[in-house]
Chains A and B, each alone.
Chain A
Amino acid sequence: MQKIGVFVCHCGTNIAATVDVKKVVELVRYEPGVVFADDYMYMCSEAGQEKIIEAIKEYGLTGLVICSCSPRMHEKTFRACAEKAGLNPYMVEVANIREQCSWIHKDKEEATKKAVILARAAIAKVNLNTPLQEGESPVTKRALVIGGGIAGIQTALDIADAGYEVDIVEKEPSIGGRMSQFDKTFPTLDCASCILTPKMVEVNQHPNITLYTYSEVEKVSGYVGNFDVDIRKKARSVDFGKCTGCGECQTKGPLGKIGNIPSEFDRGLKNRPAIYMPFAQAVPAVPVIDRENCTYFKTGKCGVCAKICPSKAVDYEQQDEIVTVKYGAIVVATGFDIINLDKYGEYAYNECPDVITSIELERLMNAAGPTGGHLERMSDHKAPKEIVFIQCVGSRCDDDKGKPYCSKVCCMYTAKHAMLIKDHWPDTNITVFYIDVRTPGKNFDEFYRRAVEQYHVNYIKGQVGKVKPQPDGSIIVQAADLLDGKQINKKCDMVVLAAAIEPNPGVRKIATMLTASIDNNNFLTEAHAKLRPVESPTAGIFLSGMAQGPKDIPETVSQAGAAAVKVVGLLAKDKLKTNPCTAQCDTLLCNGCSTCANVCPYGAITYEDVQVNDHGLRETRRVAQVNVALCQGCGACTSACPSGAMDLQGFSNRQITTEVDAICR
């Protein structure tokens, strides 16, 4: 028989305001096995833990039930506390009477009743708990960063500088990401390329960093400290060892330098040839052949690039290659894109070439962009004199067309665009339609006020109902001025849309491979929104940049550094403790049906033939075997097993049915 101590936490008023804590103590005191029960204001505090340790020693407790917040919050704390007093940490159960009780109920009597029931269930379970021993697993001292934008670059550099090897996998031909497309950055207006390209070069030259560009993560298996990752290196059709990056091949193809394929990097504002580097400062400076659009690959004729390459680097025979690498930690830095605007017919984006997105404007303003930095209308190449910016296109939407969240960077980059345009072409009039101007951040509001006060950018509070391209080539923006209560028809010659930001569409596939959770908007979820913001709930997976939520460059760089520290903290360990709550197979009950192996997400179950002695009947049977190093204790096999042979340590079928019995009692 266990000797159980029950500790009920007030959590200040978080629990005590809705649950009669004293009454819970009184009612659980006489539950089977309970020898001690008490309450305290903050059980997790030092004094609270001291209370627990004293009780363990005084009453010789063999099991603990802590009625407090979610085990996600403090199970670790209380397990450590038990261990300090010499108790096996797996003899501790947490009854969640905060998130699952006091926070969601109003009626004190009902909530108290429920708290008692939750406590009883936990007590019933502890009665069946057995001490479990944590195992150990080694740590592969190498990290993988998925995504080579500013987030991935910074994370990789910080890990590499700490002395660990790190690989970057980037699906585009070059690293650099979105930031490499930008012209200037807020709030200091320094040139994006000037601050990014040195970092790209550093990544390329760092002895601890290996780059896999034009590559994608194909398969992930294993667990924290021991991931096995298959990386598909897509055939570049250009030999890395031979290419000198001279760029000659891009100039003499079927259409010369112009090409006829819309450039992804220039957001379709310019064309590129089939053999190309996305931009001049690409890292690595080795072109790729876009096989889908290459004349040679389509028709078997051409081969001009191979003929003119002075170093004979073009290789049409190259095949995709899959490499398998072991990692201790994985960082997801897959970044963002803007939403597709097909659903927003009212802004005439698909109909009118002079309605552009902000990223397109970045390219048009960029000295290395399609117009050499001259802002012009795509329809007639004339300089626009009257420009309208529309904020929140698809952000802060209350219907299912757009996104419910604020994209966070649009207010600032619009102020930036407005000032840059006014600097270069002072006679341009600029109007910004906004819902709210949001500029929290160091030197941000000052920046926005400069746009209004010094540059006289016309900010109008109101949403745009319709963008109407006119027969004469101009555009009328129909909007409401909410402060004036009037309808406005603003004539202009260019409209710039601040389209909502969304996570890179590829992130879903990657999150599934990593079993990392994502939210309704496909942003990766943190282990704890406040206290563990750069970790995924899945151990060994870390988050960096826009993949976790909208953020600007300074914030991305900070988060990238934070993720790197967490990775380094993991890689610095030689061994990791493993979760002892793994599945076990009762070979006498198992009939080798394979159901468990089919549902196991970690590939932890194999089969082997064993000699069994079933009540005197000796025979060879095919039975399941669990690899405890791979098992994560999810329990899928235990509920799928038709014969009840699979059982999870710490969450045995008997423990769970006993809990249910206690609840229904």
Chain B
Amino acid sequence: MKYSYYPGCTLKNKAQDLDKYARASAVALGFELEEIPEWQCCGGVYPLGSDEIATKLSSVRALNYAKEQGQDLITLCSACHHVLKRVNDDMKNVEDIKNRANNYCEFDEPYQGETKVLHFLEVIRDVIGFEELSKKVVNPLEGRKIGAYYGCLTLRPGKILDFDDPENPKIMEDFIRALGGEPVVYSMRNECCGGYTALKDPDFTKQRTEQIFDDSTGFGADCLITACPLCMYNLNKSEAKSKVPVYYFTELLAEALGVMEGA
């Protein structure tokens, strides 16, 4: 199975681990990631201005490219996933944005939200299946108590992202279980880490990340996993006493599949 792959800027710099372990794991799991040529930055934040299309165009181009290849589009970074999925929803359902974006882009045929945007985790859940994944595990993460940290970007708004139940998600817990680890459920797992407020109000993110570490380690987590480079940044910056290591989910995946070396 071949997928169009949209890595996004951060995965080429700070979050290279998220990218490289995903590529290695994909090979082990039997699917191919074809990086979209000349992709452009998604903007990092979904623009809420209803008359704003310029910052949506990079997503539209990537989505249209995948459509032309006849492939589903895979993302890894929570922020890119969030932006692409919401822009795709606009292109499907918001007449004004659809028309203006198409008038500007002048594709061979208008893009109307045909591409299916999948997060890497969704491919594992819905295409491969957790049962199949657990069969491919060579180094089960036995004895590891892992807290899934979802953050907010992959979950909300729930109806558009359609990723999992935003109030009580379980996809990452199922993922941890499939790798042989023990998922630790804690209530801060779907709360915001503070996101970009780190730039303006560092105290706030400090407080949020401390709550996340306190809560997860209180329930026994010895490490956290995330799919979001921004969450990773904020969590790493934390000076919480309860701080534990944070990994990209792809790193533990590659470890369990035994493909870390080649990555």
Residues of A within 8 A of B (CB): 343-346, 348, 350-351, 466-472, 476
Contacts and interface: CB of A to CB of B under 8 A. Distances in A.
B185 interface: yes
Contacts of A466: 187, 191
Contact of A470 (B168, B185, B215): B215
Closest 8 CB pairs of A and B: A345-B168, A471-B218, A345-B167, A468-B187, A346-B167, A471-B219, A345-B165, A469-B187
Contacts of A344: 167
Nearest to B187: A468
B188 A351 contact: no
16 contacts: A343-B165, A345-B166, A345-B167, A346-B167, A346-B168, A350-B168, A351-B185, A466-B187, A467-B187, A468-B188, A468-B215, A469-B187, A470-B215, A471-B218, A471-B219, A471-B220
A472 B168 CA distance: 21
Interface string B87-119: 000000000000000000000000000000000
Q: For chain B, what secondary structure do more than half of its interface residues adopt (helix, strand, loop), or is it mixed?
A: loop
Most buried by A among B168, B186, B188, B218: B168
Nearest to B191: A466
Contacts of A348: 187
A351 B215 CA distance: 15
Interface string B161-175: 000011110000000
A471 B215 contact: yes
B205 to A, nearest CB: 16
A470 B167 contact: no
A470 B218 contact: yes
A479 to B, nearest CB: 14
A467 B219 CA distance: 16
Interface in B185-225: 185-188, 191, 215, 218-220
Contacts of A350: 168
A484 B218 CA distance: 31
A468 B187 CA distance: 5
Contacts of A470: 215, 218
Given A346-B168, A469-B187, 11 more contacts: A344-B167, A345-B165, A345-B167, A350-B168, A467-B187, A468-B187, A468-B215, A470-B218, A471-B186, A471-B219, A471-B220
A345 B188 CA distance: 13
A470 B187 CA distance: 8
Contacts of B168: 345-346, 350-351
Nearest to B170: A345
Interface in B132-190: 165-168, 185-188
Contacts of A468: 187-188, 215
A476 B191 CA distance: 14
Contacts of A471: 186, 215, 218-220
A589 B100 CA distance: 62
A249 B238 CA distance: 62
B3 to A, nearest CB: 30
Contacts of B191: 466
Nearest to A350: B168
A346 B165 CA distance: 10
Nearest to A346: B167
